[in-house]
Amino acid sequence: MLEIRDLHISFGDKHVIRGFSTSIPNGKIGVLLGRSGSGKSTILKMITGMLNPDYGEILVDGINIVGTPISKRGLGFVPQHQLLFPGLNVFENLAYGLKSQKWGREEIKRRVSEIAELVGVDHLLRRHPRNLSGGERQRVALGRALATYPKILLMDEPFSSLDESERKKLALVFRQIQQELGITSVHVTHSSQEAALLSDKIVVLENGVVVQEGNYREVRRFPKSKTVAKLMGIPNILENESQEIIKAWKLEPKGEEEKFFQVNPWELKRGNMGIECKVIAVTEGIAFLYTDGNFLSMIDDSGLNVGQKIKVERHPEKEEIGKVSQMQSRVGKF
């Protein structure tokens, strides 16, 4: 179990992390979600030992590791940029930690072949990193991190530099391996899709402070602020909170801490009344509309034409999380 209590760090006058606390139960994945500069990488650096907190505790299985040398923390790390040791082949990369820890030759061979099979690179063992694809390199990076039996696996946006299809595939491979090994993991990302696929728990960070935490469903359904809603990829948040739209569609304010207005795409329908919108684009049953400073999306199969002006009404129905995921997979983030 990883438990973090009241972590603080400042750089000069800037208070970067202010009282960060969370816990990730054994065998679960905690996702640190936040925009660039929110402080998520700084927290990761404090866990690794690259930075020492001004105040606070980081407990791994109940033992505070603040001040413990990096090599003694029992951590595995998968970096963002598919970094492998440049002069070593795949086998040597996987064996790196084992060799450093003076394992015997036969033990190393056995462990490397075990881990190579687990991450699916057993056919690439003699290859040099430069002859691997991005996805293969990241599999090797995962294998290298897992080889030494770490207590906690840290992942710093490991899929961000991969293409869309590879990213999803690899995220699922990671999830499967993590479940198989039952290793406690921290995953840093700014992608709500990765959070949806990988998280047992989401911790949303903003300016060094936790603004919301919970499981994906909870955070997705009840975002406390507009920032959290945007980070979670919730569609149709009104940028221009026009009273005409709010009134016509009878929108209720959302957000416990910061009020905002949002309408679900499946609640919008073409009608004779409502708000006039211009059709900007139409793709796979989804129409993208513009009205009064807001870009919105609507599920529609009625054959709208680009440039057409239509009236849009709202027919509230119970929110279904499945619909959101389905829409996201069809057209990406809104």
Q: Which residues bind another protein (CB under 8 A)?
A: 48, 50, 70-71, 73, 75-77, 79-81, 83-88, 96-97, 100-101, 129-130, 144-145, 148, 150, 156, 161
User: What are the Cα distances from residue 183, in Å, to 2, 75, 124, 292?
Assistant: 11, 11, 25, 49
| C-beta closer to another protein: residue 129 or 274 | 129
Q: Looking up tokens 């687990």, which residue turns up?
A: 118
Closest approach, Cβ 67 to another protein, in A, equals: 13
| C-beta closer to another protein: residue 42 or 236 | 42
Radius of gyration of the chain (CA): 23
Are 219 and 212 a contacting pair, CB within 8 Å?
yes
CA distance 213 to 224: 10
DSSP label at residue 127: -
Closest approach, Cβ 252 to another protein, in A, equals: 44
Closest approach, Cβ 3 to another protein, in A, equals: 20
Closest approach, Cβ 71 to another protein, in A, equals: 5
Tokens standing for residue 161? 């530099």
| C-beta closer to another protein: residue 101 or 326 | 101
Strands in the chain per DSSP E: 2-11, 14-24, 29-34, 55-60, 63-64, 75-78, 152-156, 184-189, 201-206, 209-214, 268-271, 275-283, 286-291, 294-299, 309-314
Helices (H) and strands (E) in the chain, counts: 10, 15
- What is the DSSP code string of 160-211? TTS-HHHHHHHHHHHHHHHHHHT-EEEEEES-HHHHHHH-SEEEEEETTEEE
CA distance 185 to 29: 5
Closest approach, Cβ 180 to another protein, in A, equals: 22
| C-beta closer to another protein: residue 50 or 172 | 50
| C-beta closer to another protein: residue 152 or 296 | 152
| C-beta closer to another protein: residue 155 or 177 | 155
Closest approach, Cβ 28 to another protein, in A, equals: 21
Closest approach, Cβ 196 to another protein, in A, equals: 25
What are 9's strand-pairing partners?
17
